[in-house]
Amino acid sequence: MLVEYADMTPTYSELFVKEDNVIPEINKILVQNNVDVYRIEVDEPSLEEIFLNLGDQKHPA
């Protein structure tokens, strides 16, 4: 399965995937099915989010 989760509204759609490498394939499928794609955006965590997540991880003793 290429898409893990999809959020669809009348004005936009969000597709959530586990791996970035499937994005071109998803775009190709959408275009082949006459879906106009205006933008593809990858949501990356900020440095602050990464730092906070590191603090939440348990470290082995």
Cα separation, 60 vs 55, whole angstroms? 13
**Alpha carbon of residue 47 to chain centroid:** 18
- Assessment of whether the complete model's pTM goes beyond 0.75: no
Q: Which long-range contacts (CB under 8 A, 24 or more apart) does 33-40 make?
A: none
- Please compute the mean of the pLDDT values over residues 14-39 and round it to a whole number: 94
- Please compute the mean of the pLDDT values over residues 24-47 and round it to a whole number: 93
In the prediction, which pLDDT does 55 show?
Answer: 76
In 10 A of CB 43, how many CB atoms? 6
Q: Domain boundaries in the chain?
A: 5-56
**Alpha carbon of residue 22 to chain centroid:** 10
